[in-house]
Each structure stands twice: as structure tokens, then as C-alpha cells.
Amino acid sequence: MASVDRSSKPSFTKALFLGNTHSELVMPYPLLESAERTKVEALAGSARDYLANTYDPWKAEADRWVGDDTIRDLGERGLLGLFVDEQYGGQGLSQTGYCRVMEEFGRSDGALAVVMGVHQSIGTKPIYLYGNDDQKARWLPDLAAGRKLAAFVLTEPNVGSDAYNLETWAERQSDGSWILNGEKRWIGNGSKDVLTVFARSDLGHVALVVEKGTEGLSTGPRFDTLGLRANNLQRVHFNNVRVPAENLLGEPGDGFRIAMNTLNNGRMSMGTSIAGGMKTFLGYTLEHANARQQFGRPLIDFELVEEKAAWMNTQIYGLESMSYLTTGLVDRGVADFSLESAMTKVVASDVGWKALNKAFQVHGGTAYMDDHPLSKALRDFRIFPIFEGANDVMRAYVALNGIKALSEALPDVRSLTISDPAKAIGVLAPYVAGRVNRALRPEKLAGAHASVGKQVSAVSEQVARLRDRAEAALRRHGKKVQEKQLIQKRLSDAASGIYAQVAVISRITAVTERDGVSATHAERALAVNFCESTARQVGRDLRSLEINSDGATKQLGKAVRESNGYAFDL
């Protein structure tokens, strides 16, 4: 990888909202180094072998647990401590290497992928990131070996997306210990061994590690879910649970930051796991469409079936490129990757769900049978746009952070008031001038291969338009833009589309430079198709910021709320 210092660089996506393209953050594409690649391929191969020949997802669903024997076997194969340092019994993989192995679980079974993700991506990760040496030595070896499973204990009956306002309370005692009271829900691995619990206290949010068997800790009744039925989803209760002082992660007041940073890391493996699932859906689609004959021809010969397979293939490439560019930001030491992580999660869960529905449609009634793998996948996958940050919340998060970064570069914005036209003219002048300059001199992604020059130019124009539309929204609505969620959605989706194109351009550049132009012709055609189709969608998102029916939507929404339902009879 390049030796550019990226540790002090701002978020790539925040810079997009300012009309800037920080090429050094995303170029060259972060390919695995050969030594780690060999290790990752061996671990991925071991996982693939076990999942194909030993693990039975149908039995796991019937038993409503992936199985203690499965956990033991995966631990013995070194698959439960993938990013944990070798000194604690783990594999010491990079974020990219870890997410590459996690892709194998997504290919096989959504429920097992979630159990693995809960244990590693968010359960073990707070201890790995924020534990001191004693805490790491105490818990990581057992977690890496699979002797114990970890849980991330955040969500509460009255607290979901608004994670700051927790009701679970921790009271610090004179000896430094904590008394914990409250209730959590929807906790994967909640009845297992090592629980990182988030609570509020007089000293701010805290992250406390609570071990199974602690007095006052209880779980259940277990949730009965639509899908992921092999995932142990629990209620967790704390009744005067005493937590030793040495079980505090970080310092008092660090808890919320620990929770959010853990989730930012955890969302990346969701992106690659869903990409793995999409590859399986595509495989099912091609197998069925080639074998199934209708009107004397295989289904794959019909354009509407072929289009679905082509769409899946293209979207897998885009999601894969986006996911591993994001993991590469972490591995390169970029400090702020929260927006890229959020966008990857949103795109993965959205396109994964669409790909599953397309595969389902090709199979017709066959897939609707309860014993078909796509039927199980349909139940399992529906949760992905909801958990680890609901997609609507993540879109607002991306847009508002981008707008905030832009507002900090525009100190005159606060002085703009609609009621003072004369004052507004002076404030709008630099906006208009800047708009002209950006239109004339859009910044281009540096270092891209000449064969994708057209796509690079298109991206630079989109970045300039994103800045223009974001600034227009900010100047028009001021602080009220925080309430304009339809605007936020369009800005976020446009930024995600731009980031995805950048990822694909960076990837195809790296592959072309490694393998040569002629050897990468087919991949480049796929990359170009993804960029062109995504650019069209970004264009629609940006245009709809100016031309839309939001006023009518608001009126209709108010009317249906007042009538409390559909109010029209024939």
C-alpha cells in the first residue's frame, strides 16, 4: 500500500460535500498484501469447507441455535478471533482480511453470519479496541478460541435509534465498582458469556463488561423472530448487578463513543457478508434459469430473466468494491470512516434485499415453498435494513454530517434570513460565485486509469453538483435542514452513489495496472456499466432536490394522519 500519511485526513465523504475529492484516501485501491492474502485465503477456504460439508443451516433453524458444536469447531479452526492479536490466540487479520473471511459466512447462512458478526464485529470488538492489557488478557483468549461468546448490549425497550438516551443506569460505588439496573432487548448472544453493556451514570455513559453468572443478571424470555431463528436473541435484565471497577472499558463518560465506534467498525462486515449472500443468490438464479425450460427454451434466454442476473452481477461488483475500499480506509489509518461505514451498510442491505427478490422472482413458486433456501433467506435478510443502524437513520446521519462539514466552511450561512432580502444578497454572492467556479473547475479523481477517464469526469461533475445542492439546501433552510429528511435522503443517496463509483474506479485501476488492459476487458466493462447506471441514479437524486413533489407529499401526509387511515369510499 502507498505510504501517504492519511491519519490526519478528514472523512472522504465529508470532503465530497465541500466539493473536494481527496484522491489520496482512495487511490490506489487497497489490495491485500501477499503474506496476509495467503493467510486469509486459507482461513476462508477452511470456513468454506466446514460450511459446505459439516454445518447444516436447516438443523440450526429447527434447533433455534447454530449449535455449541459449531461454535467449538469454528473456534478450533481459528475463525472466532479473526482480528484479535496473535498474542491472545487470534489471527491478527486486518479489517479487510477479517471482512473477507466473514463473506464466507454470508454466502452460507444469514443466521450464522449474524451470530459470528455479533460475537466478533460488535461483541469482542469493544474489548479489542478499548480494553487495557489486563482486560484483553482476561477475555480475548477465550473469545478468540470460541470457549466463550460475546454480546453487544445496547438496545432497550424504549431506546432504539436514539441510543444516547439510555435508561439503563449504572451507579458508581465508593470502591469504584458499579451497580447496574435496567433492561435490554433484542440482544444477540444475550444469554452467553461476555456482555459489553452500555449504560448512563452521573459521570456520563459507561461501557461495562458483565460476565454470565453474575448475581442479578438474568435473561429471557427469548424472542421468537420471523427469520434468523438460529440466532439467540434475548431480553437481558440487570437487577442490582455489581460490576467490578476493573470491568469498566475506557473511562467514565466514554461509553457512548465506544458504542458508536464499535458499530462503525461492525457495519463493514455486514457489507461483505451481504455481498457473499448475493453471490449465492446469483448462483441459485443461474442454476435454476439454465435448467428450467419454458416455451421450449431455458429461462435464461428471456431478456427479463437475463436482466436480473446482469443486475445482480453488476451490483455485487459495486458493493464489493465499496465494502473493501471502506475496510481499506481503516487499515490505512484514516481516522474518520463513520460515513463510509454507514453508507456501505445502507447500500448493502438495500441492494442485498433487491437481489434476493430478483432471485426469488426467477424461481417463481418454487422459492415460495418453505423448504427452499431462498424462502429461508427472505426471512433472514429482512432484518438487515433495520439493525446496526436503521437505514433511514443512517441516511440522515450521512447527510447531516456532510452538511455540518459544509456549514463549518461557510461562516456567513447563519446570517442568512429570508425576511431580510437585502442582507441575503450579500450572503448569496459568494455562493453564486463559488457555484460558477465549481462548474468551471470541478476537481477530478487523481491516479485513475485512462480507460475509465469518462467515468472520472462524470464523478467530478457529480461532486460539484452535490456541493452545490447541499449548499443550496443549507442556505435555504438553515438549521431547519435538520428536519428536512427528504432532502437528507437524496443527499445521502447521491453521496453513496458517488462513493461507490469512486470505489469501482479505484478498483478497476488497480486491477488493470496489475494484470494489463487486455486481461481486464470483461471486468472493465462491468465497472463501466456500474458507474454509468449509478451516475444516472445520482443525477435523479440531485435533480429531485430541485424538482419534486415534497409539498404535496407533506399535505397528503398531514391529511392521512388527521383521518387516521384511508378515508375514501366508492
Cα distance between residue 221 and residue 224, in whole Å: 9
Question: What type of residue sits at position 262?
Answer: T
The grid coordinates of residue 378 equal 427472505
Give 3-state DSSP helix, strand, coil % of the chain, rounded to 5.
60, 10, 30
Contact 494/402 with Cβ under 8 angstroms? no
Cα distance between residue 493 and residue 463, in whole Å: 13
Instruction: Kindly report the number of other CB atoms within 10 A of residue 344's CB atom.
Output: 30
Question: What is the three-class DSSP state of 326?
Answer: helix
Q: What is the β-pairing status of strands 150-153 and 194-199? A: parallel
Contact 206/248 with Cβ under 8 angstroms? yes
Contact 98/269 with Cβ under 8 angstroms? yes
Active site residue: 320, 340, 388, 471, which one? 388
Question: Which of 208, 180, 92, 98 has the alpha carbon at shortest distance from 140?
Answer: 92
299: Cα within 13 Å, side-chain hemisphere = 19
Cα distance between residue 195 and residue 151, in whole Å: 5
Sign of torsion, CA 540 542 548 554? positive
- For residue 16, CA distances in Å to 328, 399, 448, 458, 489 come to 18, 11, 17, 14, 16
Q: Does the annotation count 183 as an active-site position?
A: no
Element of type H or E holding 234 = strand 233-243
Contact 440/433 with Cβ under 8 angstroms? no
Question: Which of 281, 419, 301 has the alpha carbon at shortest distance from 360?
Answer: 281
Location of C-alpha cell 465541500? 18
Question: What type of residue sits at position 317?
Answer: Y
Cα distance between residue 480 and residue 220, in whole Å: 42
Question: Which of 93, 86, 89, 87 has the alpha carbon at shortest distance from 44?
Answer: 93
- Written as one string, the DSSP assignment of 353-420 is HHHHHHHHHHHTHHHHSTTSHHHHHHHHHTTTTTSSS-HHHHHHHHHHHHHHHHHHT-TTGGG--TT-
Active-site positions read 388
